[in-house]
Structure 1
């Protein structure tokens, strides 16, 4: 082998070792950078004709475990879905209060029952009658507040859906643009790994909204499909649309046409249910919160409210009431009547109030709590029969006419406890599922990081590159000495 060929070989070795050191330094400096894929220098023996001619740098490969990344993305989608669901149910639980809390609906019913008992022992006491009125107003106010919180939960979900759809569209557009740029860099035979890192970050962001499958295409491009087969990107990106209704009231539903669903490329697309094209991530949980979870909570709260109103508008409890008269608790000032309004129960919890006839601030009189709401006069101050009747109505076992608890009889306190506990149980179950899903996603993310840049290994590689660089430099120095020696002959 000629000295010039040996010199060329050593020079190629210096170049490869230098490139290798650059790759190692990039790996170490980006060891904790989100989306960074470990770089590996690819080399191959260089040959001219049949003779070896040093080392050839093929390029820098992005070395990632795509299967592990795919599994982690599915775990991220499940974690985002569970966290969103748990957050929604936790807000509903806070709105209803816990069964053992004094400021919950159950606690308000217990306070009202105590006030009735105390007033029945001293029916002549205006102070105790005023306490009954105050407890009844606190109870209806607590129910109103819970109903308002349910509607706020639905509006929060609606706002979240709109924001998520915007993020979905923006992210898909950015990924499509990166796809095009990566393809261009591949065609120029340039290193596009930094662009691929950026694309992975965007796909990871997308994976929390809906489970993603990444499929490689030519020239470094990728196609993205949801777990159930909807094409998000395979060429031009899909376009999603959602029209927000803004203010939501209990009567508004998707089935009734008052609320909107999700559209993909101008066509409706399923977000929940079996084989839902866009199911499985935070987007599904938001739709579930708006259309299922909060609606069911509203239904149960309305059923509880109906039961409360019906107990006290029964003429058997207050003989002064006629068949169409409102009792102590009213439906926006009137009696609850499904005959004249078949939809009267929907949103009833937002309209319940205390009858103005017993409220001095509204022109009523406290003595009506003792003598009857429609009584013509105050009657005997020692008559506790109506107060006792009201207390009995509150504690009587009665089967609810609607809601989730129509299979057995409950006292008012027990029914409230069932409704409140039902929300609490679902919230706790969702929190437990969220904890599990988050832990699983964190475990896979740790495995992904462990499979990424190992700084100890990188430093070992750096030492090898330094040794290779020194060896090739030694060869070049020796060749230089030999050439100088030949020149002196």
Structure 2
């Protein structure tokens, strides 16, 4: 071996050692970076003619456990959907009001019933009548507030869907651009590991919303599909479409065209049913909130409002009311009818006939809603009948409740209990999915950058560098000795 060959070999070794040290330092620096894949320097023996000529750097390989990452991504989508459900159920229970919450519906109906009993015991006392009217108004307002809160949750979900769709579309466009750069880099023999990291981070932006399956072709291009087989990135990025609304009312649904559905490249997707499109992630959960969970909660609340109205509209309860006129509780001033039950909870009002602020008189709560003149102040018959109407056991005919007979307080309490059970079940499911996701995430991180292993490799690289440097030093000394001899 000539001195020049020794120098060439050593210089190639120094270059490879320097590149290896650079990669190891990058691994260590990104040990906690999500989406980062451990790099390894690929080297090969360099041959010139029939003789060895040192080492050549072939490239950099990025390592990742795609099977484990795929499982974790599916679990993350499940976690996003479960978290959305648990959050909604907790907010719904908060709107209805837990038994110990100030102003909950159970407390309001109990207060109303108590004020009616007090007024019946002293029907001549105008302050007691006023208190009963205010309690009825508080009852209606409380139901209104819950209904408005449910519709606000639907509107927020609708707006969040729009934001999510824009985010996914942007991520898919960026992924397609990175595909082009990765293919070009690999075709030209360049390094694409950093581009692959950037792609992985973009994929993670989509993962909570849609369960994904991915594959990469021989050229290095990434392909993304939803769990149900919809192509999201296949040569070209797909485009999701959605149109948000400015306001949502209880009777606005996807089925009647008032709300937007989701499209994929202009094709409508079904987000409900047994096999919803793009199902399993937070995106589908937001559609479920807007189109299923919240409407179901609204239907139960409307049933409570209907039950309350019909108790005071019962035939024979108030002989002063004309046919077709409402009793104490109204549908925005009109007689509530079953055909208009949807959204009744948001329109529930007390009859203006008993509201002094709207030209009514509180004595009508004692003498009859339709009374034209004040009757005997000691007559508590109608007040007692209203107390009995609240406490009467009557079947519930709507809202998904069973047909069992209940009092007004019993129905409200059962609605709260149902909300609490749903919240508890959602939180239990969330805890299970979170535990599974955490285990997969820990396993993925364990297979990532191992700092101890990287430091051991760094020591080896340091020794390699020092050895190659010693070869160069030896060659230099040999050349110096030759020059001395030549003189």
TM-score scaled by length of structure 1: 0.95
Task: State how far apart, in whole Å, the 2-side matches of 1:363 and 1:63 are.
Answer: 78
| 1:456 counterpart = 2:458 | no
Task: State how far apart, in whole Å, the 2-side matches of 1:274 and 1:310 are.
Answer: 36
Per the alignment, residue 151 of structure 1 pairs with 151
| Cα-Cα RMSD | 1.7
Cα offset for 1:8?
Answer: 2.4
Task: State how far apart, in whole Å, the 1-side matches of 2:373 and 2:478 are.
Answer: 129
Of 38-47 and 220-229, the range deviating more from structure 2: 38-47
Cα offset for 1:94?
Answer: 1.9
| 1:465 counterpart = 2:461 | yes
Task: State how far apart, in whole Å, the 2-side matches of 1:373 and 1:483 are.
Answer: 118
Q: Does the CA contact (< 8 Å) of 1:330 and 1:352 recur in 2?
A: yes
Per the alignment, residue 28 of structure 1 pairs with 28
After TM superposition, the structure 1 = structure 2 runs for residues 52-67 of structure 1, keeping only pairs within 5 Å, are: 52-67=52-67
Q: Does the CA contact (< 8 Å) of 2:298 and 2:343 recur in 1?
A: yes
Task: State how far apart, in whole Å, the 1-side matches of 2:402 and 2:444 are.
Answer: 50
SS at match of 1:180: helix
Per the alignment, residue 313 of structure 1 pairs with 313
Task: State how far apart, in whole Å, the 2-side matches of 1:403 and 1:456 are.
Answer: 61
Cα offset for 1:274?
Answer: 3.2
- How many correspondences in the alignment? 485
Task: State how far apart, in whole Å, the 2-side matches of 1:309 and 1:274 are.
Answer: 36
Per the alignment, residue 265 of structure 2 pairs with 265
Q: Does the CA contact (< 8 Å) of 1:395 and 1:413 recur in 2?
A: yes
Per the alignment, residue 107 of structure 1 pairs with 107
Task: State how far apart, in whole Å, the 2-side matches of 1:457 and 1:47 are.
Answer: 31
Cα offset for 1:116?
Answer: 1.0
| 1:478 counterpart = 2:445 | no
Task: State how far apart, in whole Å, the 1-side matches of 2:359 and 2:233 are.
Answer: 67
Q: Does the CA contact (< 8 Å) of 1:109 and 1:139 recur in 2?
A: yes
Per the alignment, residue 413 of structure 2 pairs with 417
Q: Deviations over 1:421-465 (max 9, x none)?
A: 212221232223223323332332232222211222211111111
SS at match of 1:353: strand
Per the alignment, residue 131 of structure 1 pairs with 131
Cα offset for 1:100?
Answer: 4.3
Q: Does the CA contact (< 8 Å) of 2:123 and 2:377 recur in 1?
A: yes
Q: Does the CA contact (< 8 Å) of 1:176 and 1:235 recur in 2?
A: yes
SS at match of 1:220: coil
| 1:162 counterpart = 2:162 | yes
Per the alignment, residue 68 of structure 2 pairs with 68
| 1:442 counterpart = 2:434 | no
Q: Deviations over 1:119-157 (max 9, x none)?
A: 111111111111100100000000111111111111111
After TM superposition, the structure 1 = structure 2 runs for residues 72-471 of structure 1, keeping only pairs within 5 Å, are: 72-338=72-338, 342=339, 344-471=340-467
Cα offset for 1:102?
Answer: 4.0
SS at match of 1:315: coil
Of 234-243 and 274-283, the range deviating more from structure 2: 274-283
Task: State how far apart, in whole Å, the 1-side matches of 2:56 and 2:91 are.
Answer: 62
Task: State how far apart, in whole Å, the 2-side matches of 1:100 and 1:326 are.
Answer: 33
Which 5+ residue runs of structure 2 have no aligned equivalent? none
Task: State how far apart, in whole Å, the 2-side matches of 1:265 and 1:363 are.
Answer: 58
Cα offset for 1:467?
Answer: 0.6
Q: Does the CA contact (< 8 Å) of 1:165 and 1:240 recur in 2?
A: yes
SS at match of 1:219: coil
Q: Deviations over 1:296-331 (max 9, x none)?
A: 111111111111000001133223234422111111
SS at match of 2:62: strand
TM-score scaled by length of structure 2: 0.96
After TM superposition, the structure 1 = structure 2 runs for residues 34-53 of structure 1, keeping only pairs within 5 Å, are: 34-53=34-53
Q: Does the CA contact (< 8 Å) of 1:315 and 1:323 recur in 2?
A: no
Per the alignment, residue 13 of structure 2 pairs with 13
Task: State how far apart, in whole Å, the 1-side matches of 2:279 and 2:271 are.
Answer: 5
Q: Deviations over 1:329-387 (max 9, x none)?
A: 1111122234xxx3x11111111111111122222221111121123432222222211
Cα offset for 1:99?
Answer: 3.8
